[in-house]
Structure 1
Amino acid sequence: MNFRIVSAFITGCILTLIVPLSAQSASKERQNCVTVITSGSTSRPFWSKVIEGATQAGKELGLKIYARGTVEDSDSAGQAFVLDNTMKLFHCRGLIIAPSDVGRNQDITHLKAKGIPAIYIDRDTGGDRLASVTTDNYAAGKLAAQKMAEALGYHGNVILFRLKPGVASTDARERGFADEAQKLGLTIIADTYLGTQVGNARSRSGEILDQFNQIDGIFTPNDTTTIGVLIASEKHLNQSNVVHIGFDEQKIMVESLKKGKLYGYVVQLPFKMGYQGVWLIHQALQGKTVQGQLHTPIEFISRPQSNAAKATTASEPR
């Protein structure tokens, strides 16, 4: 049997694989696989749920799902490398991708020219993608501001910690929070970027927290910023009544919520995001028209002792 040697960049590592060559099997793979490219490590809870949803849809539709990611959300060059190598390795007929930035649009245009359709998930940077399945991130930021304003009696000094410029999803959340917070009477006393790594978020937020004697509220737009600020707060925040609202969900956030260190957080439905993405690709491959922006629901998770443990806002496709 003949073999070929190929390399793929997978979550920060270059793996060399020996793949048997078979014209029949290669053709079958092209007919029955979809590539999922995340923006960040596939081991992160959010992205692993996206992949679970995509895999479930793949089982129902008879499609093999190949998922790959990068180490960091902001690694545009790394994502381009992963995308190129994964498409060459598996020859899939469809792509689902969470674009790290607008740089992916050019890659999607090239794939479209080859007859390979793409669906964007989590964030939508436009271009030649057929459709997108995302959270309404602007609305999610507004929801966080509304919950904070309610808790603070519609006045108070709050800090907006941002992730990184150019990340479409968190940019929208931050903008939604800022617009709604100021509209509802809150004063943003600090507004700064923390970076995509928990360590950087911890150190940078600690420096900001040290600058203020009275902080009433804090908003963090994703899991890494939320965790970094929670860790920094142990040493740099002497107040126990700060209304900290985060985004997405990880174990440390759940525990912090139970202990009263976190007021609440907004969660998305990543499983549904991946699931719907695969169904859309399947429809496109069947020759059906697929277009538009689909929004999956969001939920606000609050402290267990609250009378309203969950408040759900659902977004309909548009």
Structure 2
Amino acid sequence: MSRRHPNARRATTISAAALTLGSAMLLTACAGGGGGGQSPSAEAVSLTFVAGVKGDPFYITMACGAEQAALAAGVDFDFQAPNTFSPTDQVPIVDAVAAAAPDALLIAPTDAASMFAPIQRVIGAGTKVVLVDTTLEDDEGTSASVKTDDYAGGVEAARELAELTGGSGEVLLINFLPGVSTTDARGKGFVDEAAKLGLTVVAEEFAGTDVEKASQIVDASLQRHPDLAGIFTTTDYGAQGTVTSLRNADALRDVKVVGFDASPVMVEELRAGNIQTIVSQQARTIGELGVEEALKALRGEASSGTLEVPTITITEEDLESPDAQAGLQVESCG
């Protein structure tokens, strides 16, 4: 069944009931317009969302949630994203945002250290900044942070893989890129919990957004570890490459796979039985909450600090359940 797992770290982890109620209250209050000072001002407010990379269903789904909340509040919404998940491509976009000086910026930093200075330039221009998804090593001047409880997501992935493999055996971790706060936390949660459960993590490899590289990593790992029992990939890119490699090796379903994020292609592989479990983020909710925090900052209200949204664990059996549906991602806002 679909499960939400809170984490005990020092941040506000939102319960499932609070997420449902809070999202409904946010959209209702924004749409109502009057009473309680829900709108930051009578004048039009502008908000820009800069995602981590263009074309990723996770960020598209987050943008859909943010846009819905912004439009309900009468806020002008703009969405931008770099061609690659890198400061090289993201910095020019952020510098252009600093020059335009919108009232608020939601941003998923592509590097926890390198994006500090560009974001400070935005703050210096008078824009309220809310970090969404990824974060910074130093969040000075930002108004809030809304992200997935990624460490707990990694822990859940280890538990799922342990159950699928019988609680023992060699497993592989395919991560994204070093220095990315979200996937670093997923990887650490997975490794820590796997050790407690008796799984042997033979390696942590990095594939970025390169599906072919992920496939090559699995090819090589199967050669080095012919008894490999399972694989956890912290992104859907890694999962796609994993499935390709296992298919070529005639090892689909023999090697158990737990992926992260329920993008359309991931759901297709889950239905086919090529992936056994998906641990997914609630991308739309993160977008909605990001807008809520931005509006609070513009109204001068106290920040919620860091909000951690729990993951949803999805299997083929419960794919159509309401809980699972909350974790599904889209390729366009429709």
The bucket for the TM-score relative to the shorter chain is 0.7 to 0.9
Question: Shift of residue 166 of structure 1?
Answer: 0.6
Q: Deviations over 1:115-162 (max 9, x none)?
A: 211000012213222210000100000001011112222211111111
Corresponding position: 1:60 with 2:72: yes
Alignment of 1:232-271 (within 5 A): 232-236=245-249, 238=251, 240-271=253-284
Corresponding position: 1:108 with 2:119: yes
Runs of 4+ in 1 over 6 A off after TM superposition: 308-312
Corresponding position: 1:154 with 2:154: no
- Partner residue in 1 for 2:130: 119
Distance 1:59 1:93 in 2: 15
- Partner residue in 2 for 1:37: 50
Select the structure of larger CA radius of gyration.
Answer: 1
1:297 to 291, 310, 315: 310
Structure number having the greater strand percentage: 1
Indicate conservation of the 8 Å contact 2:149/2:309, yes or no.
yes
- Partner residue in 2 for 1:182: 195
- Partner residue in 2 for 1:71: 83
TM-score norm. by structure 2 comes to 0.78
RMSD of the alignment, in Å? Answer: 2.5
Q: How many residues align?
A: 282
- Partner residue in 2 for 1:95: 105
Distance 1:203 1:151 in 2: 24
Structure 2, unmatched stretches of 5+, are 1-40, 326-334
- Partner residue in 2 for 1:49: 61
User: Which amino acid is the alignment partner of residue 145 of structure 1?
Assistant: A
Structure 1, unmatched stretches of 5+, are 1-27, 313-318
Alignment of 1:132-147 (within 5 A): 132-147=145-160
TM-score norm. by structure 1 comes to 0.82
Percent of aligned pairs sharing the same letter: 30
Distance 2:244 2:219 in 1: 9
Question: Shift of residue 291 of structure 1?
Answer: 4.3
Distance 1:239 1:269 in 2: 28
Question: Shift of residue 103 of structure 1?
Answer: 1.5
Distance 1:241 1:71 in 2: 36
Tell which has more relative contact order, 1 or 2 (C-alpha 8 A, sep 6+): 2
Distance 1:116 1:292 in 2: 17
Question: Shift of residue 305 of structure 1?
Answer: 7.9
Distance 1:311 1:60 in 2: 25
Indicate conservation of the 8 Å contact 1:156/1:186, yes or no.
yes
Indicate conservation of the 8 Å contact 2:159/2:194, yes or no.
yes
Indicate conservation of the 8 Å contact 1:138/1:175, yes or no.
yes
Distance 1:38 1:311 in 2: 24
Distance 2:318 2:116 in 1: 45
Distance 1:215 1:310 in 2: 31
Distance 2:277 2:317 in 1: 10
- CA 1:160 to 1:65, structure 2 compared with 1: closer, same or farther past 3 Å? same
